[in-house]
A and B are shown apart, each in its own frame.
Chain A
Amino acid sequence: MSTMLHLINKSPFDRPALDSCLRLAKAGSSVLLIEDGVYAALRNAVYAAAIGKRMAELKFYVLGADVSARGLDDSPLIDGIDVVDYGGFVDLVIEHDVTQSWM
């Protein structure tokens, strides 16, 4: 079975891309939050619960540049989400067999 990297670039408040991804991502997959998708990583926002439910089965990452751009460096992220830089983004794409962009 191939490993999959899921890319989410839309705010969970604006589009249901994250909901669909969390519903359909197979255990062992990874989810990388980029662009407006990084808002899903905030511990104090309501979407923390949805991610929390799948935290044990999926590995979550967030792109640091997009966190800083949105003024969220001072905002706590959900425990267990790893912050990666652009190089880390590339590494994740290489490490997984398939990348799925939830447009």
Chain B
Amino acid sequence: MEPWEEDSPEVVKRFMYVNRKAPHGTIYALECLEVVLISAAFDQDVSVVFIDDGVYQLKKNQDTTAIGMKNFSKTYRALDDYDVEKIYVEQESLDARGLTAEDLIIPVEVVGADKLRDIMAQQDVVISS
């Protein structure tokens, strides 16, 4: 048996993906979503956070027909299928943009910065885009 085939105690790390960019002006949002979906296959403890312009990624009713870009907003609905259930949106970011949870394409947990900073502080790995 090779060393890497030996049974090792399963290590589960807490991964947090922090989305801060609007969806279509740059590639960051789509790239991060793909990373989340890929990493979800590795049975880690995954959280996805939307702050600043990242909250716009979840806006309902996106129709990209006229700009000729992929409408990946519906793909956020797949997070649940991948057992990614910890999805946080910052209250302050929604407020500044005149948005509420009702405007978003998936159910999320809306949290204030005071709570979100505690959740962030509990992570082993934080990937921001």
Contacts and interface: CB of A to CB of B under 8 A. Distances in A.
Contacts of A69: 24, 62-64, 66-67, 69, 71
Contact of B25 (A36, A64, A71, A75): A36
A76 to B, nearest CB: 9
Contact of B62 (A9, A36, A71): A71
Interface string A30-47: 000001100100111110
Contacts of B26: 36
B24 A36 contact: yes
A68 B63 contact: yes
A34 B44 CA distance: 39
Interface stretch (B51-59, B83-91, B116-124): B51-59
Interface SS majority for chain A = loop
A65 B22 contact: no
B52 A14 contact: yes
A35 B64 CA distance: 11
B98 A11 contact: no
Nearest to B59: A71
Interface in A56-75: 64-66, 68-75
B21 to A, nearest CB: 7
Interface string A69-88: 11111110000000000000
Interface string B74-103: 000000000000000000000011110001
B19 interface: no
A87 to B, nearest CB: 12
In the A-B complex, list the 6 residue pairs whose CB atoms are closest, starting with the nearest. A44-B98, A65-B66, A36-B25, A71-B59, A71-B62, A71-B61
6 contacts: A11-B56, A13-B96, A39-B97, A69-B67, A69-B69, A70-B22
